[in-house]
């Protein structure tokens, strides 16, 4: 699909949002949408029980408005946009949500797309096929808009922006507009508004605050609000992307974007095929190093006390993002700071044999034994060999006091495109995250329904299974 010369980028995406059909989707794309839906639900339920997930839910609880959509993991409904705010923020709190391949983009689609899709589905009848089509649409919008920048992490490294906060509103807006039944003009207006509502700074990651989590919730909230306003007749600039004072010139600068990427193979290639899933509750850029550590731990026996030195060889961008500034990365003081620290994440994986939610609490990251081990980690910036663009390699050596050297190199972490998670992996992850929140019976019911979602006439009733009373979660 190519852009019509006289049509703006927003109008092109709006036309695509209205015309994409379930029958246009290959079977593997549909299956991927089901897996991402299941993965999101588990992550959202787990995130709803974190301190930041509870704070945002409590904030939404006291707001007045129609009880339209379920706040996952809690016992109440809220207006659609407010529920999206809570569910997106909660889901992004545990750093276990899906993300797009680093060779293509650096965004977290699920936490911006899924809350909007679920919220609309509780206020009008949405079939499983329509739900999955909207999900594929949202993943395409966020991925394509992000990929129009010079390289995947351009906005983060050059400008200090968080791409999920920048591009997520457009994805949520597209999903909301599609499921609410907006026409092309209304959807383009929603995109126009969202150029003024998008934002998010990466400073939060080094500072160890919760604000990155809010980026996802606010992106979804903005998308829903813009779609609802557009449906009521509110207008936005349809030249929002390419305009001389538009989104890309404002955020990227003149000459630092290529909008032809947005429409290239539109409707033929789908960004959801490039999604990676997380086995560890920390930044995806750290996962390859942790996968190499896992290989060493599986092949050799040693205790943390026996370790003399650990050397991690990884891409220079990983060093820049997750090893510096040194004090914040080697001695994190909050769980949020630990989620973006390579030394802490590697050390806690060796110490605990796990790097999941419990390893990234404010209490866990201050343990003396883990921080002492982190000081033994040396990171070397190097361009490791790749066999394809899908590789995200890392190499780790661990030297013990008795002179032994253990080494492993990986093309990527499990869950990456190089070493993908299968259906059974996603299902097991979902069960592990969901069961403690909603119980085994409802977990199995959700699992069965989502994996056969295209057979459902109305998916809205499933959200009721994700509500939990306060007493049940205390």
- pLDDT tens digits for 275-284? 999 999 999 9
Mean pLDDT across 436-446:
97
Q: Which CATH class is domain 9-276?
A: mainly alpha
- Is the bond into 325 cis (omega within 30 degrees of 0)? yes
| First-residue to last-residue Cα distance in the chain | 51
More confident: 106 or 211: 211
Q: How confident is the model at residue 322 (pLDDT cuts 50, 70, 90)?
A: very high
Is the pLDDT confidence value at 1 over 90? no
Which tens digits make up the pLDDT trace of 173-200?
Answer: 999 999 999 999 999 999 999 999 999 9
More confident: 220 or 385: 220
Please state, in angstroms and rounded to a whole number, the distance separating the CA atoms of residues 311 and 278: 23
pLDDT at 5: 56
Q: How confident is the model at residue 470 (pLDDT cuts 50, 70, 90)?
A: low
pLDDT at 4: 47
Q: How far is CA 452 from CA 33, 37, 186, in A?
A: 11, 12, 32
Mean pLDDT across 438-444:
97
Which residue, among 259, 7, 9, 14, has the nearest Cα to 148 in the 3D structure?
259
Burial of residue 457 (number of CB atoms within 10 Å: 0-12, 13-18, 19+): exposed
Q: Where are the alpha helices (DSSP H) in 106-155?
A: 110-121, 128-147, 154
Average pLDDT of the residues of the chain: 96
Residue 49 sits at φ, ψ, to 5 deg, of: -95, 0
Query: Beta partners for 331?
Result: none
Please state, in angstroms and rounded to a whole number, the distance separating the CA atoms of residues 261 and 268: 13
Sheet-wide strand order for 307-314: 377-381, 307-314, 394-400, 405-410
Strands 377-381 and 307-314, bridge-based pairing: parallel
Which tens digits make up the pLDDT trace of 396-436?
Answer: 999 999 999 999 999 999 999 999 999 999 999 999 999 99
Cβ neighbors of 260 (< 8 A, separation 6 or more) are 3
More confident: 385 or 369: 369
Is the pLDDT confidence value at 360 over 90? yes
Is the pLDDT confidence value at 474 over 60? no
Q: Where are the domains of the chain?
A: 9-276, 284-410
Q: How far is CA 185 from CA 122, 142, 180, 195, 229, in A?
A: 25, 20, 14, 16, 13
pTM for the whole structure:
0.96
Q: Which fold has domain 284-410?
A: 60s Ribosomal Protein L30; Chain: A; (3.30.1330)
> What percentage of the chain has pLDDT greater than the value 90?
94
Task: Give the pair of three-digit tokens for residue 61.
Answer: 């609880």
Residue 266 sits at φ, ψ, to 5 deg, of: -65, 125
Which tens digits make up the pLDDT trace of 37-59?
Answer: 999 999 999 999 999 999 999 99
Please state, in angstroms and rounded to a whole number, the distance separating the CA atoms of residues 15 and 1: 11
Q: How confident is the model at residue 472 (pLDDT cuts 50, 70, 90)?
A: very low
Is the pLDDT confidence value at 469 over 80? no
Is the pLDDT confidence value at 123 over 90? yes
Q: DSSP states of 298-350 as a string?
A: HH----GGGEEEEEEEE-HHHHHHHT-SHHHHHS--SHHHHTT-HHHHHHHHH
pLDDT at 172: 98
Q: How confident is the model at residue 473 (pLDDT cuts 50, 70, 90)?
A: very low
Which tens digits make up the pLDDT trace of 325-356?
Answer: 999 999 999 999 999 999 999 999 999 999 99
Mean pLDDT across 271-278:
98
Is the pLDDT confidence value at 260 over 70? yes
pLDDT at 64: 83
Which tens digits make up the pLDDT trace of 69-96?
Answer: 999 999 999 999 999 999 999 999 999 9
Please answer whether residues 49 and 94 qualify as being in contact, where contact means their C-beta atoms are separated by less than 8 angstroms.
Answer: no
pLDDT at 226: 98
Which tens digits make up the pLDDT trace of 195-233?
Answer: 999 999 999 999 999 999 999 999 999 999 999 999 999
Mean pLDDT across 249-275:
97
């Amino acid at each position: 699909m190519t852009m019509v010369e006289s049509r703006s980028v927003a109008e092109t995406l709006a036309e695509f949002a209205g015309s994409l059909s379930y029958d246009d989707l290959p079977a593997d794309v549909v299956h991927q949408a089901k897996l991402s839906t299941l993965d999101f639900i588990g992550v959202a339920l787990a995130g709803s029980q974190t301190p930041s997930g509870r704070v945002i839910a409590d904030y939404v609880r006291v707001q007045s408005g129609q009880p339209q959509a379920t706040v996952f993991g809690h016992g109440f409904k809220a207006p659609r946009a407010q529920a999206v705010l809570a569910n997106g923020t909660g889901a992004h709190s545990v750093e276990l949500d899906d993300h797009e391949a680093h060779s293509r983009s650096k965004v977290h689609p699920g936490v911006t797309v899924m809350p909007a899709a679920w919220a609309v589905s509780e206020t009008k009848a949405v079939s499983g096929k329509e739900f999955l089509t909207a999900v594929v649409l949202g993943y395409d919008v966020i991925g394509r808009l992000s990929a129009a920048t010079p390289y995947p992490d351009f906005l983060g490294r050059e400008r200090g922006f968080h791409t999920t906060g920048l591009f997520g509103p457009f994805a949520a807006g597209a999903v909301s507009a599609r499921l609410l039944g907006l026409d092309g003009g209304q959807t383009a207006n929603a995109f126009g508004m969202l150029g003024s509502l998008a934002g998010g700074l990466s400073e939060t990651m080094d500072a160890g605050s919760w604000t990155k989590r809010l980026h996802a919730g606010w992106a979804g909230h903005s998308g829903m609000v813009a779609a609802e306003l557009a449906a009521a007749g509110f207008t936005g600039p349809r030249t929002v992307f390419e305009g001389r004072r538009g989104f890309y010139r404002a955020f990227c600068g003149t000459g630092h974007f290529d909008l032809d990427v947005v429409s290239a193979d539109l409707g033929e290639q789908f960004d959801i095929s490039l999604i990676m899933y997380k086995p560890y509750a920390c930044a995806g850029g750290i996962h390859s190093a942790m996968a190499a550590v896992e290989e060493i731990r599986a092949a050799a026996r040693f205790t943390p006390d026996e370790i003399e030195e650990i050397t991690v060889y990884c891409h220079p961008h990983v060093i820049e993002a997750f090893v510096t500034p040194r004090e914040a990365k080697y001695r994190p003081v909050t769980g949020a700071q630990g989620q973006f620290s390579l030394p802490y994440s590697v050390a806690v994986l060796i110490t605990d044999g796990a790097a999941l939610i419990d390893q990234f609490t404010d209490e866990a990251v201050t343990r003396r034994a883990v921080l002492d081990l982190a000081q033994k980690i040396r990171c070397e910036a190097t361009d490791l060999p790749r066999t394809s663009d899908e590789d995200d390699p890392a190499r780790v050596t661990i030297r013990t006091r008795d002179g032994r050297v253990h080494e492993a190199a990986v093309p990527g972490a499990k869950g990456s495109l190089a070493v993908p998670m299968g259906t059974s992996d996603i299902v097991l992850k979902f069960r592990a995250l969901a069961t403690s929140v909603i119980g085994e019976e409802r977990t199995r019911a959700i699992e069965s329904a989502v994996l056969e979602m295209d057979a459902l006439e109305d998916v809205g009733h499933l959200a009721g299974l994700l509500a939990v009373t306060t007493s049940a979660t205390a």
